[in-house]
A and B are shown apart, each in its own frame.
Chain A
Amino acid sequence: MDIKNLEKEQNEGIESLPSDERRKFLQMGLAVTGVFLGGTLLSLTSVSTAKGRNADPAIPADGQYPYTKHYGMIMRQNHCVGCEKCMDACVETNNVQIGHGAWRTTIQERLTPLDSGREKREFRPILCNQCNRPPCVRVCPTKATYKDPETGIIVMDDKKCIGCKTCMAACPYNARYYSHAKHAIDKCNFCIDTLLAAGEKQTACVTSCPAHVRVFGDLKDTSSEIYKLLHKPDNKIWVIRPDCGALPNVFYMNA
């Protein structure tokens, strides 16, 4: 049989494979990915390239945080009820001039029709993902937006911004808008200049959330709630658009 057609065959799973057999393959540096054709064929791959979900490079490995304080946020997504109190608090705290669809954080809604005639409703809060490899920073012609080396937060230097909107086009998360009040691009900065600068530990959206959806904190602080959630064994974590390679610092989970 042509080995290329193997993937078209039904994978019978690896449960039937005796653990002794599996161990032998692992010792050879191979991982068993499936059993095909009644056990006459095995699918093997080298362990170094076999990566499961937890090996996803979009989720940072413990201790690999490049910034002095490495701020991030984790969303307990299924707890979001779409009340948008976070949006109100953000607008008020950060003086976001609403209109023209301006937001620093918003709630996305997905409705899926169910057989019962009702709809399944899901909400997802989004904001700037404060990426480790931020496309917005790379494209800015005037270095008006940059990664703050102290906190890892992507901030704006309004005076340098020429309003060319290239960063808006580059952002994989659509998290930037042109502020007609500032005559510059504006974006979420984890309240760095409003609340964090005043000694607060939490952002406006976190404090206003009635369902404790958003968990904000320093990924380097091993005692922080975000660290614990992110590194809890078997806790399934995902990010939005991992394929874009921006290495976001906003994570999602179901609590």
Chain B
Amino acid sequence: MMKIIFIASGITLLAGSFLLVSNAAATDDYDVKAFGPKSPIVWTKPAKTSFEHRPHTDVAGLECKACHGEIFAMQRGVAQKTGKFTMASLADGMFCGACHDGKRAFASDTKCAACHKIPDDPIVWTKPVKAVVFFHETHGEKSDLKCVSCHDGTFPMQVGVAEKSSNFTMKSIYEGRYCGACHDGDTAFAANTRCNTCHIGRKGYDRLMGRDPYAEKDGH
């Protein structure tokens, strides 16, 4: 009698678990407990970076504890508040650099775009003059440049850093800094020609920000 009960309950449990699995497969087979959060972790400082848990847990087979503890706090925003969450510290083996050292996983100074998303929107500078645009698309996809060609030697990746510098001027570009590293008339068109390829003016800036540049200014 006991045997029958055991077998019956076993069958019920088995069927139940099959049901659970098939239910999960029908809607979503993502196991949050095993894989970690489904949506990517996005850091905005110092530069926009995203991290997917699944390639690290499900694919690479890491336990949560492998990173969460000493390397990365589980709490949101802690890493970027430390002020040490930089490529330099990664190279020293901190944060992602604990594994991404070129031995256990690809080195942190390679495959930039695996974590850093190349911005689709133009980069817009408003200082010292309004406004200058830069398209990554024209420089990356349509030429042989790599991320490291400019970042961070010529241009800091961090938003607003170049702009805050007092030497972010045409003069220093003519001297070969910033855009002038290539825009010297040799590698790319000289920086003292074709001004309005990059300079869009205040009207262009207004338009970019979704405002009508002629709303108030035009006509007498």
Contacts and interface: CB of A to CB of B under 8 A. Distances in A.
Nearest to A84: B202
A64 to B, nearest CB: 32
A103 B217 contact: yes
Contacts, number: 64
Interface string B194-220: 011101111110000000010011111
A99 B216 contact: yes
A82 B217 contact: no
Residue among B195, B204, B218 facing the most chain A CB atoms (10 A cut-off)? B195
A67 interface: no
A224 interface: no
Contacts of B220: 100-103, 168, 174, 176-178
Contact of A210 (B128, B131, B218): B128
B201 A121 contact: yes
Interface in B162-205: 170, 195-197, 199-204
Interface string A84-118: 11000000000000111111001101000000000
A120 B202 CA distance: 16
A85 B131 CA distance: 11
Given A78-B195, A123-B196, A210-B129, A83 B217 contact: no
A148 interface: no
A120 B203 CA distance: 14
Contacts of A81: 129, 195-196, 199, 201
B216 A79 contact: no
Interface size band for B: 20 to 34
A90 to B, nearest CB: 13
A83 B196 contact: no
B48 interface: no
B208 to A, nearest CB: 12
A120 B195 CA distance: 11
Contacts of A100: 220
B59 to A, nearest CB: 39
Max chain B CB contacts within 10 Å: which of A99, A123, A174, A178?
A: A123
Nearest to B200: A121
A90 B132 CA distance: 23
A169 to B, nearest CB: 10
A177 to B, nearest CB: 4
A16 to B, nearest CB: 35
A83 B219 contact: no
Interface string B116-150: 00000000000011110000000000000000000
Contacts of A82: 196, 199-204
Interface in A29-48: none
Contacts of A79: 195
A211 interface: yes
Nearest to A122: B196
A99 B201 CA distance: 20
Nearest to B193: A78
A106 B217 contact: yes
B206 to A, nearest CB: 10
Nearest to A176: B220
Contacts of B197: 121
A85 B216 CA distance: 17
Contacts of B200: 82, 121
Interface of A: 78-85, 98-103, 106-107, 109, 120-123, 168, 174, 176-178, 210-211
Interface of B: 128-131, 170, 195-197, 199-204, 213, 216-220
9 contacts: A82-B202, A82-B204, A98-B216, A106-B217, A107-B201, A121-B199, A121-B201, A123-B196, A210-B128
Given A83-B201, A85-B129, 15 more contacts: A79-B195, A81-B129, A82-B196, A82-B204, A83-B131, A83-B199, A84-B201, A98-B216, A99-B216, A101-B217, A106-B217, A109-B204, A109-B213, A123-B201, A210-B128
